[in-house]
Amino acid sequence: MIRKARIADVKELHRILNAFASEGKLLPRSLSDLYTHIREFVVWESPDMGEILGCCCLHIVWEDLAELRSLAVLPDRQGRGIGTALVRTCLDEARELGISRVFVLTYEVRFFEKLGFRVTDKQVFPQKIWADCLHCTKFPDCDETAMVLEIKEAGRLHDQNGSSHVL
């Protein structure tokens, strides 16, 4: 079950995200940062145990641009469509808000390509660089791949080949 994150989820999100950060798969997130941005997160909660199995964040960067951040699914639950569902939920929200482009900085290029994202140059996102990247420990030697998805019309996403996908 996907739902908006709650304040009570912050410590569990912190644990999950920082476990991935310790492996170099995500950037670490502080408790303070998570409390500040909790309204941007969606979580996948197991209906039977109420355990958070994954999360994703949609961060608005500019009037026409948002970033997917902090996509994480517990290792023993990966490969079951949870990550895809979390991303699609965030993309639905972006579309509802009137955002025309969503980008991600990732090590999981194949995963995002399957969702219609295409590789792009980080330099096309100056708002991101000035707002966040300058403060990152990896700056200026970021090893993540920038990818973007154009949201061209309500209810439809267009992949790099121009194929249309209904959400």
- pLDDT for 132 equals 52
Quote the tokens at residue 112: 């995002």
Residue with tokens 């941005």, as numbered in its chain: 37
- For residues 62 and 154, the model is more confident at 62
Our separate counts of H helices and E strands in the chain read: 5, 9
pTM of the model: 0.83
Q: 106-132 pLDDT, tens per residue?
A: 989 999 999 999 999 877 765 554 445
- pLDDT for 123 equals 72
- pLDDT for 113 equals 97
Nearest to 19 by CA among 63, 44, 45, 54: 54
Domain boundaries, the chain: 2-166
91: left (phi over 0), alpha (psi -120 to 50) or beta: alpha
Of 3.40.630.30, 3.40.50.280, 3.40.50.300, 2.60.40.10, which CATH number belongs to 2-166? Answer: 3.40.630.30
> Taking all residues of the chain, what is their mean pLDDT, rounded to a whole number?
85
